[in-house]
Amino acid sequence: FAKEMKDMMRDRRTMISMIVIPALAIPLLIFVMTSFTASKINQAHEADKTIAITGIEPGSAIYRAIEETGVAIVLNDTLQSTPEIMVLDKKLDLSVVFTPDFEAGITDFLENDREAPPEVVLQYNESRLLSETTMRLVKKTLLEQREIRLEGFLTTRGLRADIMHPFNVWQTNVMPPEQQAGSELGRIIAYIVMILMLLVTKR
């Protein structure tokens, strides 16, 4: 063991691959990748977002709610192609398509005069972070509007708005802090081992 340790300490390449690279390069690489990803996400949130809306009038409550998110809504009359194609060509970040008679469909569904609720289709480009971010922003707004419509319907009929949530579900992490640190470390050990295997040189 002493002989092997002595030979290893004399081999500069082995020391670099076993100590220097794992101690410096791998944490630096993880930091750079994390910072780069966070920077791209922040840029996507702060960037101007352009969408097209089909199927509802500009004066409707849902249209105004989407507009209040800060996105730029392009009129369909000014589009050079279909919204779906323009999203694919990266000329639009999102296309929001409402089914015909959307507002009337909501009323009919709540009044039990329609079997299925009206639909909204969000057409986005998954290869673009900005497009996906825009989709999530608009989807969140639509879900909030859905809750508002439901609460209004229940209130007008003398029902409590929270009747749709008869119980709450909570989650709590029972793992101690030291085990959490070990879990986080365990996630990157496999990558470190793989890199070290690639760095091993035959003598």
> Residue 185: which of 21, 22, 18, 19 has the closest Cα?
22
Tokens of 29: 């690489």
Q: Quick one: what percent of the chain has pLDDT higher than 70?
A: 91
**DSSP 3-state assignment of 120?**
strand
- The count of C-alpha atoms lying within 13 angstroms of the C-alpha of 196, restricted to the half-sphere facing its C-beta, is 15
Alpha-carbon gap, residue 7 to 14, rounded angstroms:
10
Secondary structure element (H or E) that encloses residue 197, with its range: helix 177-199
The per-residue pLDDT for 43 is 85
The per-residue pLDDT for 196 is 65
Whether residue 175 contacts residue 6, with contact meaning beta carbons closer than 8 Å, is answered with: no
Tokens of 103: 């507002």
pLDDT in tens, 127-177: 999 999 999 999 999 999 999 988 888 888 888 878 877 888 888 878 788
β-partners of residue 95 are 52, 123
pTM of the model: 0.71
Per DSSP, helices labelled H in 16-157 are 26-46, 61-67, 83-88, 102-110, 129-156
